[in-house]
Amino acid sequence: MASNAPVGKPTDMSSPRLPKVAGIDSTVPAPPHTVAPLPGVPSAAPPSDAALPPGVLIQDRLASWVSDLTTLHELTERLIKTDSLDGALREMLGAGAALVGARRGMAVLEPADGLGPTSTIGLGLAHADLGTIETVPRGSGSYGRLLDGLPEADPPGAGLPDADPPGAGLPGNGPTAPRRPARVPEPIAIRDVRTEEGLDPRHREVAARLGYAASYALPLATEEAGRLGAAVWLYDEPAEPDERRRHLIGLYGRFATEHLARLLQVERARARVATVTEELLPSRLPRVPGVRLAVRHLTGPQGGGDWYDALPLPEGALGLAVGSVSGTGPSALAAMGRLRASLRAYAVMEGEDPVAVLSDLELLLRLTEPARSATALFAYAEPAQRRIVLAGAGHAPPLVVGDHRTEFVETSLSAPLGMLTCWEAPSVELSPAPGETVLLYTDGLLRRTGDATDRAFARLHAAASSVPRTDRSDPGAVADHVLRTLLPGGLDPAVEGEDVVLLAARFE
């Protein structure tokens, strides 16, 4: 039995060992955490100051650096997934609180070029708390000093001048010098609000009311992006982040600023597209005896070519139109504006014949924009007689909603404008009963549901049938109910897709 005894130290040889990662012995104890990390994110902590052998000290530092890199990687991955300014500010506030060891904070978005948008987001602070902080004189608050201390001449994205001055590049004049990048101020740390010199008494009063004793403010600015805003984190006790934490939040803050700058450009582009779209569509709906109108128009991020119109015509008649131009972006918006203006002219000249109106529109589209197609529906309505004559070009049929029926109007199948050498389709006449509402809509309403065409039509019919009787006297309430039922989450502005137009006409 003795000959079968193991050689050496059985405990040392057979005891399990944790695997090594990147050459670092995982048996070396990790430095203690001083702040609770974010869920699922490793927290960075400074190395121990205790006396350690040189090899262990190097390994400890390497482990700390790897932890820092892992932390920043995880936090920036979370941030890059945000697609809105508010979402990015909230994510940045939460990540920054973990990095600096604070519990509450606020972020102010205030671009230096003054073009907006502006907003204030709080972490662990109610709306009333943010209002209370804003009562502190701007020059006394740390974030206010950061916002006002930057030059205003360099907007986000400032680089070389847009154009050289006269004579630049000619012999003797030389090239234009590049614009100097914006200066980025240093963060502001207030270790103890009660003893800090130069603070306004109102600042100390607000700090006592809200229960914070220290703050750390970081500018949301880089030399390339300029000044976008500032963030400030609040401590419950006198404190300030050490050098290592300052370095980490500085790195993260620069990345967050660049991400915010990109989102700011997208937000401004969306706002410009929405403004242009609204300017190309009717500013208000006309008032015509015998009919009440309501419209709902939802625009995607790039702006589509969906449009609508309601035009008073001679002898108390009314022209109703909806349509969609192929494509998205500025070119589609321009084409939509030209098409709508042309249809208004044709409707005034020969609105009693919707087929003639669409035939003229098709000829104009084919001659002026041969590479583009469009769908359109035009209805000539006589509210006093409750009579409608309509024609459609590749467009979805209208839907009649009333107390006794909810049904689609039977129209003939026709091709979109610009698809055939010569477009032509017969018109359809209908007579809505008193109190019935006729819904005209674009294809975007069906396609935004994400269902197949047959399923989308069935859902639209079910949504219109389920309108409460108390709401059927209001065309706006009918339109709102249909939209809420078909698109319960609304139209996500970050998701590319077609616009949605819903025009409701209730006949008295």
Tell me the per-residue pLDDT of 85-137, one tens digit each, with 9 for 90 and over: 999 999 999 999 999 999 999 999 999 888 889 999 999 999 999 999 999 99
Rounded Cα gap, residues 58 and 43, in angstroms: 19
Model pLDDT, residue 21: 37
Split at pLDDT 50, 70, 90, the class of 270 is confident
In the numeric block, which tokens belong to residue 20?
């090594």
Rounded Cα gap, residues 426 and 60, in angstroms: 82
Mean pLDDT throughout 186-202? 92
Model pLDDT, residue 181: 54
Split at pLDDT 50, 70, 90, the class of 495 is low
Q: Which of 309-313, 329-333, 447-451, 493-497 has the lowest mean pLDDT?
A: 493-497
Split at pLDDT 50, 70, 90, the class of 182 is low
Q: Say which residue, 4 or 114, is predicted with more confidence.
A: 114
Q: Quick check: 441 pLDDT over 70?
A: yes
How much of the chain, in percent, has pLDDT values that exceed 90? 53
Model pLDDT, residue 351: 86
CB 217 within 8 A of CB 231: yes
Domains and CATH numbers, the chain: 82-160+182-273 (3.30.450.40), 281-507 (3.60.40.10)
Tell me the per-residue pLDDT of 57-69, one tens digit each, with 9 for 90 and over: 777 777 778 888 8
Model pLDDT, residue 153: 36
Strand order in the sheet with 399-401: 291-298, 500-507, 437-441, 399-401, 406-408
SS (H, E, C) 346-402: HHHHHCCCHHHHHHHHHHHHHHHCCCCCEEEEEEEEEHHHCEEEEEEECCCCCEEEC
Strand order in the sheet with 387-393: 304-313, 317-328, 374-382, 387-393, 428-430
Split at pLDDT 50, 70, 90, the class of 28 is very low
- Ramachandran sector of residue 119 (left: φ over 0; alpha: ψ -120 to 50; beta: rest): beta
460-463 long-range CB contacts below 8 Å, 24 or more apart? 460/399, 460/486, 461/399, 461/406, 461/407, 461/408
Model pLDDT, residue 7: 43
Tell me the per-residue pLDDT of 168-179, one tens digit each, with 9 for 90 and over: 433 344 444 444
Model pLDDT, residue 389: 96
Whole-prediction pTM value? 0.65
How much of the chain, in percent, has pLDDT values that exceed 70? 79
Q: Quick check: 259 pLDDT over 70?
A: yes
In the numeric block, which tokens belong to residue 427?
């018109």
Mean pLDDT across the chain: 82
